[in-house]
Structure 1
């Protein structure tokens, strides 16, 4: 608990705030008094998340789900406002520590108290499941301890049994170490998943340890799916019941009614282990000494109709409308050259057809944007030379300065122009998401060509369409090479924790999802650790394949040198983010998977390469052919949309697959996510003589020649 900060309001929805209970990426939780003087916890969502209509819909769902629960072991909803500028939810306040904190401070629980804890939580889950819900995040931090018994909290990711997922298949929802194997695999879950999580919670309370160990999330998820739990220290009278809860097969787990019968009826007397009653009492007494702040202004007025916008973004969009197409510094425009290169076909009836502007967003100092611009310009010019066209295309490029803030500003300026029908996002994982938000606000489609962060999985449900596999769908080219060509008995996944958040999805894809045919093991390397030790362990089995899961060329190069010095002879593969001079100098023979082709070496893009040489005087760089395809894909959709233009464009692009020179663009009907199943735009390269040499398209890997 923390004192309020000067920037905090003193009142929200009639609740007088007294302290901060916690804060995270989604918002802040306050301790407050209701109008009836009852203590409550008020969860307030940050305005930037409330700007997303999808997030606001999920918050409404959380309120609806939590309001269904009225049992004694869940926390009732007292009030909520999903339409406020910053949506909020007030629940009863439980003045006690979490189970996680209690175990950390006072150690494992005896069997008698474990039975009482399990009985109450099983009863809570019985209510949850009877209401047609699955909690999906039962963990020690979500169990609060009060004098009269525990409370199961945080239904923010609960979902109705059988409801359609709001996230992509393969996206883990829950907390590693306490989620079920089916959750770890990104599969649909039901009540047995909560039973598994309850088993993890009871084992943690009994031993003081996480049942599937510690370390990086990828390793914990892998052990959850493939290894047996560590139940050493669980009391003998409960061990078999906990082991059944932790069965890999959901059908083999006990039902919640069976758990309730085995654990008995909760008894409040003596349910807390020695040492915890004083802690619970001390937490309850702390609220009595909290000062109540002087009133300050707070905006809890209803949001206007339509997608909500934060004041910052509203000011930004207004400024963009006033400024039009002139600016200084980051986000400045540079215009296409006149004539054919500006997108107006000379002698092609310029002015007699409507014009559709394609905006291109990226960092002008990044070679990737230059490649995009050159490839896109060829597509625009080819379109405008077609006498059968019903509209002209123009290309307009904006500089995002290579920053997230610049990306949001530049995208807002582009979409403020009603002539702009679609944006192409050439930015990185670090810059693309603000552009997604700006396009969502203006309802302008955004085609993402380069970025692959798994955070785009949810963005794909707005106005954005991602034209490549995200990290949730894994590195298809290197996986296919290992499975179809190398066929190793074992692959060692070297997970560089320098970039753990960025690379976790790759590790999960090849381990938890079992995408590699042979055995897989994970070696985690801390950011300050060298690769000597792991290289020696790998070299003891010199024919093992190695998949480097990292995002830095220097770290990949260090791994390559360590493996070479240790005498390893097996295949080594990595993803595109490690490409750079350090890797090329150190990793001879390594294979790298990318989402861009070599337009000169790839037979399917040779004609484009010839046109590029003629138009720009040089061979196409990486991403030029992908940008060419993106413009042609947009033009195809705009033709189908007709007079409706950008308002109908996304629906037309989703309607049916489209074949380009680099990939087949297709989106699945259920989640609208990019489908890499056929000709999905994945490519394989080999480091040879200090250079990256094209090997094959992913679909051609392993085919007879």
Structure 2
């Protein structure tokens, strides 16, 4: 359990909060005392969902259904309020470790105890399904261990069978490694999906490892859809039923009731493996020592209703006093921080304005940082020249030194500085993920412009927003060119195993998600292999299109040369990461999908390009327009929040779409991924004369390409 944050309320619906049990994509879970003195787990749904009447209706219906769950192995709902500013739901508190923690500490379970676990969880799911619900997030972390048996918890993303889904079709809700193939594909799910997840839980408990491996979300989802589970180590006599649970087709899986019959009676006196009863007892004893919760101090607009909270000091004073990361914020703390031009005219005239620092975070020696900085500075200066503004902006830059370690250290300092309201992350796939944990801990909003790794698109990233589509859906503009213009009969996806994880998103989107109109064929090339053999096989059908699923420019250049030598004549495409000197020199004619535009060539960014040239004396480089949009996107959110923008900005930005010069900023309501729509900020370039030249925005492909 973690302490309450300064912005957390003291009381919700008469429940006195004692601490934080966790936070995820849907909300925050608190430990609380009910009005009658009982401990409970109180989950508050995030503010971005509260404005959706449809969500409130579904939440109310599902809370009513969940309150009818009276099974022995589910925790009862003790209170709920769908009409609160932020809807909340309270369940009985189970003061035991999770199954995930138990397996990590004490290893795999023997067959006898595994059967009892299977019986209890199958019985819990049978009750859930009988009540008309689908859990949708059965995983070891959502199974708590009490002395008398396990409890299935967290119906935060459950939905009523047959009801409108909480997310649009095509998004992924659940936890990679434990969700079903139909969830991985973004399809509608039913009770068989929970059975698949239960099979994953039992396999993990029996072997100590997830059945579809570990790694990035894209890789795990790909294996879930296409590969068989790793069941080596599942006890004899149980391997068959677990394998049936993990069938790819929902209709081939047993029902929860069949599983109860198979596993048999729950062995109440011997259900925990050796060593775990003591751990369970120790955790249960902890709650007895908890003090009576004291009031917290809410420092501004909160995601929950702040009942019975006293007046608070300023946001900045509280954040310093809170020492969110144990790091003291001191002016002039060294080379990690570079002060930019203070272009804010603080509170001039009769308009009362608040001041917000925007920190641009990246490596000043990196290839695109200067373009980011100049674009951001232009946005700040234009904003501060508007006489109608209600907030002033100051741009400052922070140096991540181009390393993951430097990124984490600089992010910790930013998170501890109470003046910083928002971070624009201009770093790379290697540095940005390391910056997220300290910012998430301090509830400091991070807007990510350039990085596109799957490591930053996890649903439990609660402080960041990725302002672009990512590798998890492949190079969108290139895919659209294939479907609308090239229209080949077949497309060969060259999966370069030298960068296997990075290419999995492109492979998955073209195969299991069926985003190509042409027939997809995957050609794998080992990390220690050149592309000569693959190119010859591809050239046997010279009009087939080729889509390179890789990110290494040298490897892409080797493929380009091999295809040229083999006589291939079809369309050739790749993503933005190949655009470096080795590839551009030999990739004549290749089509490239990017997340950034050429502001000087893009017809929709002419005004920005002219203003940029007037301010800086030269043309905007890659990512300048995207940084300009990121600052403006943050500014319009901060303007609605007054002095307290740090902890609530992300929720505000999720509320409604916003149109920038490069793209429309809109996010999926459930996964909170950037929405890849017709104006999703994807761009098409072509390599000509030794340079990558802008061709079109994604939504214009096929109209004038």
Same fold? TM cut 0.5:
yes
* Alignment-derived partner of residue 437 in structure 1: 437
1:328 aligns with 2:334: yes
**Matches of 2:339 and 2:247, distance apart in 1:** 60
Cα deviation, residue 254, structure 1? 5.1
Structure 2 distance, partners of 1:703, 1:653, is: 32
Check conservation: 2:22, 2:30, Cα contact below 8 A: no
- CA–CA distance in structure 1, aligned partners of residues 575 and 496 of structure 2: 13
Aligned to 1:26: none
In the aligned structure 1, how far is the partner of 2:692 from the partner of 2:243? 50
The question of 1:466 aligning with 2:463 is answered no
Contact 1:316 1:409 (C-alpha < 8 Å) held by counterparts: no
- Deviations 1:572-601, CA, capped at 9 Å, x for gaps: 211111221111122211111111100111
Quick one: distance in 1 between partners of 2:581 and 2:593? 16
Deviation at 1:346, TM superposition (A): 12
1:636 aligned partner: 636
Instruction: Specify the SS of the correspondent of 1:421.
Output: strand
CA contact (8 A) 1:593 1:684 kept: yes
Q: 2:415·2:442 contact (CA, 8 Å) conserved in 1?
A: yes
Task: Give the aligned partner of residue 609 of structure 1.
Answer: 609
Query: Per the alignment, in what secondary structure is the counterpart of residue 586 of structure 1?
Result: coil
Distance in structure 1 (CA, Å) of the matches to 2:402 and 2:438: 16
Mapped partners of 2:106, 2:657: distance in 1 = 55
Deviations 1:345-403 (A, max 9, x none): 69986998543321111111113211111011111222222233333322111111112
Task: Judge conservation of contact 2:217–2:454 (CA < 8 Å) in 1.
Answer: no
Of 522-531 and 129-138, more deviation after overlay is shown by 129-138
For 1:610 and 1:360, locate their aligned partners in 2 and report how far apart those are by CA, in whole Å.
Answer: 23
- Closer, same or farther: CA 55–349 of 1 in aligned 2, 3 Å: closer
Q: Counterpart of 2:370?
A: 370
Match in the other structure for 1:506: 506
TM-score, normalised via structure 1 length: 0.66
CA distance in 2, matches of 1:348, 1:264: 73
Alignment-derived partner of residue 122 in structure 2: 125
Kindly indicate whether the alpha-carbon contact (under 8 Å) linking 1:170 and 1:472 is maintained by their aligned counterparts in 2: no
Residue 162, structure 1, aligned to residue 168, structure 2:
no
TM-score (norm 2): 0.66
- The aligned runs of 1:342-491 (5 Å cut-off) are 342-344=342-344, 353-458=353-458, 462-491=462-491
Change (3 A) 1:644 1:478: same
Q: What pairs up with 1:269-288 in 2 under 5 angstroms?
A: none
Q: Compute the displacement of 1:91 (Å).
A: 5.2
Give matches, 1:287-302, under 5 Å: none
Q: Mark the structure with the bigger radius of gyration.
A: 1
Match of 1:536 in 2: 536
Q: Structure 1 stretch 477-486 or stretch 463-472: which is displaced more?
A: 463-472
SS of the equivalent of 1:650 reads helix
Cα distance 1:222–1:566, how it changes in 2: closer, same or farther (>3 A)? Answer: farther
Quote the offset at 1:464 in angstroms. Answer: 2.1
Give the Cα separation in 2 of the matches to 1:590 and 1:259: 53
Instruction: Tell me, in whole angstroms, the C-alpha distance in 2 between the residues paired with 1:696 and 1:444.
Output: 35
Q: Structure 1: where are the runs of 5+ without partners?
A: 1-11, 13-48, 72-77, 103-116, 140-151, 204-209, 230-237, 269-283, 288-299, 308-312, 337-341
Pick closer, same or farther for the CA change 1:181–1:416 going to 2, 3 Å. closer
- Report the CA distance shift for 1:605/1:131 in structure 2 as closer, same or farther (over 3 A): closer
CA contact (8 A) 2:346 2:355 kept: no
Long gaps (5+) in structure 2: 2-19, 32-39, 44-65, 74-92, 141-148, 204-209, 230-237, 268-272, 277-288, 299-320
Give the deviation of 1:640 after TM superposition.
Answer: 2.6
For residue 515 of structure 2, give the secondary structure of its aligned residue in structure 1: coil
SS at the partner of 1:613?
helix
Deviations 1:248-295 (A, max 9, x none): 65346553556788x7989x9xxxxxxxxxxxxxxx9999xxxxxxxx
Q: d(CA) in 2 for partners of 1:482 and 1:59?
A: 49
Task: Give 1:50 shift.
Answer: 8.7
Does the aligned pair in 1 maintain the 2:327–2:412 contact within 8 Å?
no
The equivalences for 1:655-694 within 5 A come to 655-694=655-694
Tell me the distance in 2 between the aligned counterparts of 1:418 and 1:487: 53
